[in-house]
Amino acid sequence: MPAAPENSQLDPAGQLSIGQLLAGTTLEADELLVSQIYRILWDQIVTLKVLPGQLMSEKEIAEALNASKTPVREALIRLEDAGLVNIVPKSGTYITPISINSYIEGCFVRLQLETGAVQRAAERGHLSSELPNLDLILEQQANALKDEDYVRFFSLDEALHETFFKMAGVVGVWPVLRRTQADVIRVRQLKRIGHIRRGPEVLKQHRTIVKAIKKGDPVASKAALIDHIGSLETELEQLTSHQELMTFIENQDTSKVRKRSGRRNNTSSAATDRAR
């Protein structure tokens, strides 16, 4: 049965406030408040539940989470250090536009770390208890795609890539990588909301990576992963034909977007050739 239509709109004025979004959220007593609040707000931002330009009220956050303003303020400072919010004195805290530089850097970090992970997963995957999970996640992704449940499809995408790191025996690298992916995730979510999707292609690429890992072929695993990550490089260029989406991206000069994207495509192609 198809998923219910998405309620997300590309109009900050029509969005729920951060207080409304966080209503009912409970903080855990055994974890640092600042870390919890940071993680909760990070997730709200990167999944575009709050859009670039939207206000993040410190008071609303504190009231919704039943927390004092001090840990909320510290969490917002961390988010500002991460480039996700802009704290304007005597005005408020606002979600920053998506940064092209952060997007490119995030893709670069992901390429470097994840190619190593899939190679190592292929080399030692036969020893991993996670091996059966690969086919299970692929099956669940196929069902999500069939049901047009793109939120679940993306969640399963994350689960699959995390599994690669688990199989490689370096699961602690996954949260390190994910912290660099805020604007990569925001671009992907922006496309989801804008109905610019390539689910069947992604699923096919995932199957190719999994097949190579299960065969124990690190070279083929690396090549398949490079092909998959490289496909992300076209996402910004695709957005240039959707000006209603480009308003949320920092650099409005679309010629520069194409130039940068093209430069990265050339780099990725060269990397793929080397991998083969």
1 domain-assigned: no
Q: Are residues 58 and 178 in the same domain?
A: no
Cβ atoms of 127 and 221 closer than 8 Å:
no
Q: pLDDT at position 204, please?
A: 97
Q: What angle do CA 90, 10, 8 make, to 5 degrees?
A: 105
The last residue of a domain, from among 58, 77, 95:
95
Q: Are residues 179 and 133 in the same domain?
A: yes
- What is d(CA 260, CA 20) in angstroms, rounded to the nearest whole number? 38
Cβ atoms of 236 and 265 closer than 8 Å:
no
Q: Are residues 73 and 119 in the same domain?
A: no
Q: Are residues 170 and 206 in the same domain?
A: yes
120 domain-assigned: yes
- What is d(CA 95, CA 55) in angstroms, rounded to the nearest whole number? 7
The last residue of a domain, from among 46, 71, 95:
95
The last residue of a domain, from among 65, 95, 125:
95
Q: Are residues 71 and 197 in the same domain?
A: no
Q: Are residues 106 and 186 in the same domain?
A: yes
Q: pLDDT at position 258, please?
A: 42
Q: Record the tokens describing residue 97, joined without a space.
A: 């536009």
85 domain-assigned: yes
Number of Cβ within 10 Å of residue 97's Cβ equals 18
Q: pLDDT at position 36, please?
A: 95
Return the SS3 of 88: strand
Give the domain range for residue 131: 100-275
Q: What is the pLDDT along the chain (276 residues), one digit of tens a residue?
A: 344 334 345 665 667 889 999 998 989 887 899 999 999 999 999 999 999 989 999 999 999 999 999 999 999 999 999 999 999 998 999 999 999 889 889 999 999 999 999 999 999 977 788 989 999 999 999 999 999 999 899 999 999 999 999 999 999 999 999 999 999 999 988 888 888 888 899 999 999 999 999 999 999 999 999 999 876 666 667 777 777 778 888 865 544 444 444 444 444 444 334 333
CATH label of the domain that carries residue 21: 1.10.10.10
pTM confidence score: 0.80
Roughly what angle, to the nearest 10 degrees, separates helices 33-46 and 182-193?
A: 40
Q: Are residues 164 and 126 in the same domain?
A: yes
Number of Cβ within 10 Å of residue 180's Cβ equals 17
Q: Are residues 16 and 74 in the same domain?
A: yes
Q: Are residues 70 and 118 in the same domain?
A: no
Q: Are residues 125 and 251 in the same domain?
A: yes
- What is d(CA 130, CA 119) in angstroms, rounded to the nearest whole number? 15
Cβ atoms of 110 and 180 closer than 8 Å:
yes
Give the strand pairing for 85-88 and 55-56.
Answer: unpaired
Q: Are residues 113 and 232 in the same domain?
A: yes
Q: pLDDT at position 176, please?
A: 93
4 domain-assigned: no
177 domain-assigned: yes
Q: Are residues 48 and 25 in the same domain?
A: yes
Q: pLDDT at position 1, please?
A: 38
138 domain-assigned: yes
Roughly what angle, to the nearest 10 degrees, separates helices 33-46 and 58-65?
A: 120
| Total tally of structural domains belonging to the chain | 2
